[in-house]
Amino acid sequence: MATGIVLYRVYELKFDDGYVGRVAMSALREVSFRQEIAEGKRTGIMGMTLIAETEDRNEARMLADGWEV
């Protein structure tokens, strides 16, 4: 995992229909993603749990099974 600056994070998302999935996002994108949830632009997300942090985008995408926002 990362030893320097964290640029990418992987989250496990829980949805209101019971689906659980993982998604990778940059630290910068995370700010707007959380804002979109708060404003109701992204519905159904009930929880976000941090799974991993890394400097490597490809590693983050691999850990998220290819999903990225």
Q: How far apart are the first and last CA of the chain?
A: 20
Q: Is residue 58 part of a domain?
A: yes
Residue-wise pLDDT tens digits, 46-69: 999 999 999 999 999 999 999 999
Residue 28, domain extent: 8-63
Confidence at 6, pLDDT banded by 50, 70, 90: confident
Q: Is residue 1 part of a domain?
A: no
Q: Is residue 2 part of a domain?
A: no
Q: Is residue 68 part of a domain?
A: no
How many structural domains comprise the chain? 1
Q: What is the pTM of this model?
A: 0.87
Q: Is residue 69 part of a domain?
A: no
Summary mean pLDDT of the chain? 93
25 vs 53: CA distance, rounded Å:
10
